[in-house]
C-alpha cells in the first residue's frame, strides 16, 4: 500500500481527493497499486466537513504529514512561495516523494528544490504545475526524450484565452470579456497575474527548464499582457487570416534562447488557433519528431487532480519496484544558454495608430517607419471615426523589434496621434 498525504484542500486538493477515492479501484485495476489517502491538512477546519472526510483523516498541522513516517508521498497544493517551500524541502529531507502544482514556486526556486531532491534521491512530480490535465511535462520528459527541442509555443493561461475567445467570438471589449470571466469564476477579482502574462511566464520557466535544460529567471522573459487588445485588432487579424492569442514562446537559435509571453497573431489554419475558451495547448518542435501539440483543460479541480494522481502513480511505481531510487530527471539546469535580447527579434508586425483623419498623416507615419528600415506590406484605415480620429493599421514585412519600438515611440509623439499605439507580432514560423 502506498500512503499519500495531501496538504491544501482547495480546488486541486479536493479534486485529487475525489479522484483517489472514487477511482480507487479503477486505478488499482490498471496499475496494481493500492493508493491510500493517509492524511489531509488544511488551515480551514470546515473543509474536511465539506467533502465528507472521515474523522482522524484531517489535520490543521501540515507538519503532521511532512513528519509522518508512514506517509510515502507528500502532495503540496497550498500554493505560495514561503510555507510551501519549507514544506517541500522538509519532505525531501524526510525522503518522501513530492508532488506539487505550484508553478510560481517552481519558477522562482525550482533550481534549489531540484538540487536538494537530487541530493536526497527524492522524486518530484510537477505535471499539475503546467497546463493542468494535459500530460505535457511527461510528454517532454519521456515521450520526446529522443529530441533536441528547438521551440515551444504555449497557450498556457486559461483565463486570458477565455477572454480572448469571447473578444473574438462576440466582439466584446476586453473589460466586458473580463467581467464575464469573473462572473463565471474563470478570473480572479484581481486578474493581473493572468491577463498580464505573469502566470503564463511562470509556466514557461518550467517548460524551458524541462525542454532546454537551462535555468532562467522570470526577468529573462519579455512579458506583455492582453489588456490593450481591442476588438478592432481581432477583427482585422481575422481579415488578414490570423487569430490573436496570448502566446508563450521559447525558441533556441544556436546558443541563444528567446523567451517571451505576449499577444501574437497566428495563422487561422494553424492548429493552435483552434484552442479556444479556457483550454490550453502546447506546441513543441523536436528535431526528430517535428511538431507535436498537446491540448486540454489547463485548470479546474479534477483536470488538475488528474495530473496530480498521474504523478502519484508514477512515484508509487518507483517505490513499489524497490529499485535504486532514480529521481525522475526533472528540471535540468546543466545547459548554459545565453538569453537573446528580445529587441533583436525579426518578425512581421501588425501596427495600429489612432490618428487625426487629415491629409499628410500617412506620409508622416510611413516616413518615420522608413527611417528605421521598416517596410510596410499593407495599410488600411478601418473602423468608425471618433472625434475626428480614425484607426490606421499597417502590416510590416519582417522588422527588428527594437526598431519597431523606437519608431512607435517617435510616431506616438506626433501631434496628430492619440494615445499609445499598438504593436502585435505575427508568428508565421510555427513549424
Show which residues are catalytic: 203
Q: How many degrees, rounded to 5, is the angle at CA 304 between CA 298 and CA 309? A: 145
Tell me if 120 contacts a second copy by CB under 8 A. Answer: no
Return the closest-CA partner of residue 128 out of 261, 19, 283: 19
Chosen residue from 28, 32, 44, 61 binding a second copy by CB under 8 A: 32
Chosen residue from 17, 126, 186, 295 binding a second copy by CB under 8 A: 295
Residues in contact with a second copy, counted by CB under 8 A, come to a total of 64
CB distance 91 to 66 below 8 Å:
yes
User: In 180-211, which positions are buried (b, 16+ CB within 10 angstroms) versus exposed (e)?
Assistant: bbeeeebbeeebebbbbbbbbbbbbbbbbbbb
Return the closest-CA partner of residue 84 out of 109, 59, 52, 64: 109
- How far apart are CB 142 and a second copy at their closest, in Å? 6
Chosen residue from 322, 359, 363, 387 binding a second copy by CB under 8 A: 322
Whichever of 17 and 193 has its CB closer to a second copy, that residue is 17
DSSP string, 6-56: EE--SHHHHHHHHHHHHTHHHHHHHH---EEEEEEE-S-THHHHHTTPPTT
| Part of the chain binding a second copy (CB under 8 A), chosen from 23-31, 151-159, 183-191, 413-421 | 23-31
Tell me if 352 contacts a second copy by CB under 8 A. Answer: no
Between CA 298 and CA 248 the distance in angstroms is 14
Tell me if 207 contacts a second copy by CB under 8 A. Answer: no
CB distance 71 to 65 below 8 Å:
yes
- How far apart are CB 30 and a second copy at their closest, in Å? 6
DSSP-assigned beta bridge partners for residue 356: 389
| Part of the chain binding a second copy (CB under 8 A), chosen from 44-52, 224-232, 283-291, 357-365 | 283-291
Whichever of 157 and 354 has its CB closer to a second copy, that residue is 157
Tell me if 158 contacts a second copy by CB under 8 A. Answer: no
Chosen residue from 306, 342, 396, 421 binding a second copy by CB under 8 A: 306
Whichever of 263 and 296 has its CB closer to a second copy, that residue is 296
**Helix, coil or strand: residue 256:** strand
| Part of the chain binding a second copy (CB under 8 A), chosen from 131-139, 337-345, 350-358, 387-395 | 131-139
Orientation angle between helical segments 401-412 and 361-371, nearest 10 degrees: 150
**Helix, coil or strand: residue 253:** strand
What residues line the site for a second copy (CB under 8 A)? Answer: 15, 19, 23, 26-27, 29-32, 127, 133-135, 138-139, 142-148, 213, 269-271, 273-276, 286-297, 300, 302-303, 305-307, 309-310, 313-314, 317-318, 320-326, 329, 332, 334
Amino acid at each position: 500500500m502506498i500512503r499519500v498525504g495531501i496538504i491544501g484542500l482547495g480546488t486541486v486538493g479536493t479534486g485529487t481527493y475525489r479522484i483517489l477515492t472514487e477511482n480507487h479501484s479503477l486505478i488499482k485495476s490498471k496499475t496494481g497499486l493500492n493508493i491510500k489517502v493517509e492524511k489531509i491538512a488544511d488551515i480551514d477546519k470546515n473543509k474536511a466537513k465539506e467533502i465528507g472526510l472521515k474523522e482522524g483523516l484531517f489535520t490543521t498541522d501540515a507538519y503532521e504529514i511532512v513528519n509522518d513516517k508512514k506517509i510515502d508521498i507528500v502532495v503540496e497544493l497550498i500554493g505560495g512561495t514561503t510555507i510551501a517551500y519549507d514544506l517541500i524541502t522538509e519532505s525531501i529531507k524526510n525522503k518522501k516523494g513530492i508532488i506539487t502544482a505550484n508553478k510560481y514556486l517552481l519558477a522562482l526556486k525550482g533550481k534549489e528544490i531540484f538540487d536538494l531532491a537530487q541530493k536526497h534521491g527524492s522524486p518530484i512530480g510537477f505535471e499539475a504545475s503546467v497546463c493542468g490535465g494535459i500530460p505535457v511535462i511527461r510528454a517532454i520528459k519521456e515521450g520526446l526524450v529522443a529530441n533536441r527541442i528547438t521551440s515551444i509555443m504555449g497557450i498556457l493561461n486559461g483565463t486570458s484565452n477565455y477572454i480572448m475567445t469571447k473578444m473574438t467570438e462576440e466582439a466584446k471589449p476586453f473589460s466586458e470579456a473580463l467581467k464575464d470571466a469573473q462572473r463565471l469564476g474563470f478570473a480572479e477579482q484581481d486578474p493581473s497575474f493572468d491577463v498580464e502574462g505573469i502566470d503564463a511566464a511562470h509556466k514557461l520557466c518550467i517548460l524551458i527548464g524541462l525542454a532546454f535544460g537551462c535555468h532562467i529567471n522570470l526577468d529573462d522573459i519579455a512579458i506583455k499582457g492582453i489588456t490593450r487588445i481591442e476588438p478592432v485588432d481581432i477583427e482585422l487579424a481575422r481579415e488578414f487570416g490570423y487569430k490573436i492569442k496570448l502566446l508563450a514562446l521559447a525558441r533556441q537559435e544556436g546558443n541563444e534562447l528567446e523567451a517571451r509571453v505576449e499577444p501574437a497573431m497566428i495563422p487561422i489554419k494553424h492548429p493552435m488557433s483552434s484552442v479556444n475558451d479556457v483550454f490550453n495547448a502546447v506546441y513543441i518542435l523536436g528535431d526528430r519528431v517535428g511538431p507535436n501539440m498537446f491540448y486540454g483543460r489547463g485548470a479546474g479541480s479534477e483536470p488538475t487532480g488528474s495530473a496530480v494522481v498521474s504523478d502519484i502513480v508514477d512515484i508509487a511505481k518507483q517505490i513499489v519496484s524497490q529499485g535504486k531510487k532514480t529521481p525522475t530527471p526533472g528540471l535540468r539546469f546543466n545547459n548554459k544558454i545565453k538569453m537573446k535580447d528580445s529587441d533583436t527579434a525579426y518578425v512581421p508586425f501588425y501596427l495600429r495608430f489612432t490618428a487625426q483623419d487629415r491629409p499628410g498623416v500617412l506620409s508622416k507615419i510611413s516616413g518615420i517607419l522608413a527611417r528605421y528600415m521598416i517596410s510596410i506590406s499593407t495599410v488600411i484605415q478601418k473602423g468608425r471615426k471618433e472625434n475626428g480620429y480614425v484607426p490606421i493599421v499597417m502590416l510590416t514585412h519582417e522588422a527588428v523589434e527594437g526598431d519597431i519600438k523606437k519608431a512607435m515611440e517617435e510616431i506616438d509623439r506626433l501631434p496628430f496621434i492619440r494615445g499609445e499605439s499598438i504593436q502585435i507580432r505575427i508568428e508565421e514560423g510555427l513549424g
